[in-house]
Amino acid sequence: MSKKPVRVAVTGAAGQIGYAILFRIASGEMLGKDQPVVLSLLEVPVEKAQQALQGVIMELQDCAFPLVVGIEAHSDPMTAFKDVDYALLIGSRPRGPGMERAELLAVNAEIFTAQGKALNAVASRNVKVLVVGNPANTNAYIAMKSAPDLPRKNFTAMLRLDHNRALSQLADKTGKAVADIEKMAVWGNHSPTMYADYRFATVNGESVKDMINDHDWNANTFLPTVGKRGAAIIAARGVSSAASAANAAIDHMHDWALGTNGKWVTMGVPSNGEYGIPKDTMFGFPVTCEGGEYKLVEGLTIDAFSQECINKTLKELQDEQAGVAHLL
């Protein structure tokens, strides 16, 4: 183990997603089996949460993970984020049955203002931030805007769950393996308005769109299934997705840090005006990653149906952003 340890902050560490993700980070699934980590775990300063966090830490210790060289419990983001190289901002209220994610803005927005400021003050200048807490795009936007001394590109939102959900639906529809589907993209907000776009997707060079050749299925089955999957899971489980969310967060950070070998993945990243999306909007785009940096896939043609879908999800994000302007 010759690599220098990196510091990984996880907020909401005693929550459902926290419990599903920490053991996988600790085993090297996120940053590689040769990358030692110090886990810096943040929970609210409430006795019950801190006690639950101690229980999670005991379990992490009992795994004797060779890559874990330190585990810290925190109740203040200013200490939790000190010198962190990676920050997974998960901690926040999840929605319950019948709620939309945007309804969480009022309760969760302040968390991301405070955490953005703390990252700005104490994190590594190269910190890679992934916001999972909902509404993820707008919370990531808030954190980014609250951290003016950090590069904007360090802040990202999780669209990977939508991306993975879309891949799985496409594999089912075409009878092909998930691993063979390339060039899938999800545009926009992590919400039912997201636009999962398989127009460019291929399996061994063959067009997935041509294989399916069914616009009605796309508009009336595929997009609603992917867009409303979170609600379907809440209806079935009574609580929101956790293992699949943790898995998507691992995929997102893994690919950002270690690269995608030219494969497209979806990340929510601040726009620089690409595809007509106004600068700074935290928008799901197809990207490739290499050398610890993501790069947008540019120059894709946007047809009338796609433009309509992109406009709808953009409008929703702009409304969310307007709703938090007073915090920034």
Residues assigned a catalytic role: 190
Binding flag, residue 43, ligand NAD (CB under 6 A):
yes
Are the beta carbons of 278 and 315 closer than 8 angstroms? no
Binding flag, residue 241, ligand LMR (CB under 6 A):
yes
Do the annotations mark residue 15 as ligand-binding?
yes
Backbone phi, psi, residue 82, to 5°:
-60, 120
Are the beta carbons of 120 and 149 closer than 8 angstroms? yes
Six-digit token string for 83: 């010198």
Binding flag, residue 95, ligand LMR (CB under 6 A):
yes
Give the end-to-end CA distance of the chain in Å, rounded to a whole number: 43
42 binds, among ligand LMR, ligand NAD, none (CB under 5 to 8 A by kind): ligand NAD
Do the annotations mark residue 69 as ligand-binding?
no
314 binds, among ligand NAD, ligand LMR, none (CB under 5 to 8 A by kind): none
Can you give 198-255 as a three-state secondary structure string?
CCCCEECCEEHHHHHCCHHHHHHHHHHHHHCHHHHHHHHHCCCCCHHHHHHHHHHHHH
Binding flag, residue 189, ligand LMR (CB under 6 A):
no
Helix (H), strand (E) counts: the chain: 12, 14
Backbone phi, psi, residue 267, to 5°:
-130, 145
Binding flag, residue 268, ligand NAD (CB under 6 A):
no
Q: Could you tell me which stretch among 57-65, 92-100, 207-215, 221-229 binds ligand NAD (CB under 6 A)?
A: 92-100
Length of the chain: 328
Tell me how far CA of residue 95 lies from CA of 99, 104, 235, in angstroms. 6, 7, 11
Question: Angle at Cα 258 formed by Cα 257 and Cα 264, nearest 5°?
Answer: 95
111: enclosing H helix or E strand: helix 105-122
Do the annotations mark residue 16 as ligand-binding?
yes
| Of residues 114 and 231, the one with the C-beta less far from ligand LMR | 231
Do the annotations mark residue 24 as ligand-binding?
no
Pick the binder of ligand NAD from 145, 165, 190, 254 (CB under 6 A). Answer: 190
Buried b (16+ CB within 10 A) or exposed e, 143-165: bbbbbeebebebbbbbbbbbbbb
| Of residues 21 and 203, the one with the C-beta less far from ligand NAD | 21
| Of residues 218 and 240, the one with the C-beta less far from ligand LMR | 240
Binding flag, residue 95, ligand NAD (CB under 6 A):
yes
Pick the binder of ligand NAD from 146, 164, 189, 241 (CB under 6 A). Answer: 241
Do the annotations mark residue 237 as ligand-binding?
no
233 binds, among ligand NAD, ligand LMR, none (CB under 5 to 8 A by kind): ligand LMR
Q: Could you tell me which stretch among 17-25, 142-150, 240-248, 315-323 binds ligand LMR (CB under 6 A)?
A: 240-248
Interface residues toward ligand NAD, by CB under 6 A: 11-12, 14-18, 42-44, 49, 90-95, 111, 132-134, 136, 158, 161, 190, 240-242, 245
Per the annotation, binding residues for substrate are: 95, 101, 134, 165
